[in-house]
Amino acid sequence: MVTTIRCPTCGTLSNQGVNFCPKCDTFLPWTDVVARPRPTAAIELSVAATKVAMNAGEEATVDLTIRNTGRNVDRVDFDIEGGSNEWTVVEPGTVNLLPDETAVVRLIVRPPRNSMVPAGTHLLVIHARSTIDPSVDADQRVTVEIAPFDDLRIRMTPPTSRGTTQAIHRVVVENAGNHPVSVSLFGRDRDGAGDLSVTLDQQVLQLEGGAGAAVTATVRPARPIKDGAARPLPFQVVAQAAGHAETVLDGVMIHEPEPAPEPAPQPQPKVQAPPEPPARLIPPVAELRRPRRWWPIVLALLLALGAAGAAAAAKFAPDLLDNDGGGGQQGQQGQEQQQGGDEQQQGGDEQQGGEEQGGEEQGGEQPAELPDFTLTALQCALVPEAGELRFVVQAANQGAPFGDAVTVSATAGDLQGATDITIDQVGTGEFGVPIDAELLGTAIEFTIAVDPGDAVEEADEGNNAGTVTINLPAEVDQPVNLCG
């Protein structure tokens, strides 16, 4: 048995002969001496401070005191609950203690200056555990107060655009701070000349720490350019978080003159159908076919009569020879009848053939009018964020109206892209062609075509396609116009 006394102030156990508490320095009256067994494993943990206030990106330390109150040598392990191993740690993480021996370890707190650790209060629980008996442990709590900081990032793509009536820009706002912010957005004419207006589809953004959002900015010139050269129109997009200075982005719209109107398609002359013959000249079909059914019977009768006459002439040949050509006259008469029958049959066949040919001419279909597609305009831009070459193709129909969708495409070997558009008079289609990084710095010849597979029959199949050579830049970090 070991005689111990418990400190009336902090409750620490001390062995016989100790007059003052080793933890709080309180005098120990030995009137309350109690004889009790000393445990095999026992530890005590105390902390120098229970609250720490700091800024993100800085480092703070708190001393922890560990004491072995058991009767055996023990190894104590430390771990932290409530924090992350990336910004909280106890050094050293393990200590060996003799009975009644104490050691000091440090709690190190290093919150990074980013949105990973939000601003506010974080509760850390430090556990100390005995290796001899895992059920024996001690813990202390430390509160860490991290101050908020702001880091607002804004960018616009593309910084430069082209257009006749409007241009579209994408504004990306990111909150890289460690607390929520409210961001106000608006656009303005940089020179204040009133040459353009800037409209944003969202004017207020609520962003949590580490969150981002994209806003579409539409730039419209105040007046169109009828003719002449294009001119730049500078503008600004301004972002401001509550209680902070403005962040200004500069952009330029290249205002281009309006294209000349496309000539109206000329109407195709209509082919006049031949006049129909009078109804009385077109006999019914039954009347056309009825004579052909009777001609074989008439012809057979004539042939039979001719054969009978020839037999009679052979039988009475002597009498006929004595008669001044009577038999010859009869034979001549039979031949004339047969010849007349053949001519009558031939005339009937010619009449039927003529009537059938006239019916075909009367009921034949006239050739239909056809559409005629042709390319009228082309624009393209390299968009590095999407990894593609973006095409805008304009086509016109100079022939008959065509209401179905027609394919427009851009092809260069294995590189290809396409979309379907409807071309009443003028139609525009937009599509992308993926571009790998190894193609940067090279020149690529693309074939731009309307109805590339000739799926639609046209009046002119030779004006549907054209070629354009595009020189890709070697390095690019934002969209760039390459043609148009």
| pLDDT (mean) for 149-173 | 93
Q: What is the mean pLDDT of the chain?
A: 79
Q: State the pLDDT at residue 271.
A: 64
Say whether both 114 and 189 belong to one domain.
no
Interhelix angle 326-363/285-315, rounded to 10 degrees, is 160
Kindly state the percentage of the chain with pLDDT values over 90. Answer: 41
Count of domains for the chain: 5
Say whether both 289 and 353 belong to one domain.
yes
Kindly state the percentage of the chain with pLDDT values over 70. Answer: 76
Say whether both 56 and 121 belong to one domain.
yes
Say whether both 143 and 208 belong to one domain.
no
Residue among 155, 208, 146 at smallest CA distance from 179:
208
- 267 found inside a domain: no
pLDDT at 404 over 90: no
The H or E element containing residue 70 is none
| pLDDT (mean) for 247-256 | 93
- 318 found inside a domain: yes
Give the pLDDT confidence of 330-373 residue by residue, as tens digits.
444 444 444 444 444 444 444 444 444 444 444 444 555 888 88
Give the pLDDT confidence of 259-315 residue by residue, as tens digits.
777 777 777 776 666 666 554 444 444 433 444 444 455 455 555 555 554 444 444
Q: State the pLDDT at residue 138.
A: 93
- Looking at 129, 147, 165, which one is the last position of a domain? 147
For residue 174, the enclosing domain spans: 153-255
| pLDDT (mean) for 84-100 | 91
Say whether both 98 and 158 belong to one domain.
no
Sheet with strand 231-241: strands edge to edge = 160-163, 246-255, 231-241, 181-189, 204-207
Q: State the pLDDT at residue 118.
A: 93
- Encoded tokens for 443: 């020149």
Say whether both 123 and 56 belong to one domain.
yes
- 302 found inside a domain: yes
**Which amino acid, one-letter code, is at 288?**
L
Return the CATH number at 105. Answer: 2.60.40.10
- Encoded tokens for 191: 């020179």
Phi, psi of 251 (to 5 degrees): -140, 165
Q: State the pLDDT at residue 272.
A: 65
Say whether both 398 and 428 belong to one domain.
yes
The H or E element containing residue 470 is strand 465-471
Say whether both 212 and 172 belong to one domain.
yes
pLDDT at 326 over 60: no
Say whether both 169 and 219 belong to one domain.
yes
Spatial distance between the Cα atoms of 78 and 60, rounded to a whole number of angstroms? 18
Q: State the pLDDT at residue 206.
A: 93
Comparing 360 with 215, which gets the higher pLDDT? 215
Say whether both 382 and 438 belong to one domain.
yes
Say whether both 191 and 226 belong to one domain.
yes
The H or E element containing residue 96 is strand 94-97
Spatial distance between the Cα atoms of 148 and 152, rounded to a whole number of angstroms? 13
- 103 found inside a domain: yes
pLDDT at 225 over 80: yes
User: Dmax over Cα atoms in the chain, in whole Å?
Assistant: 191
- 262 found inside a domain: no
- 462 found inside a domain: yes
Residue among 83, 2, 93, 88 at smallest CA distance from 42:
2
- 73 found inside a domain: yes
Angle at 28 between CA 26 and CA 32, to 5 degrees: 140
Residues 67 and 61: beta-carbon distance below 8 Å: no
Q: State the pLDDT at residue 295.
A: 47
- 113 found inside a domain: yes
Say whether both 213 and 251 belong to one domain.
yes
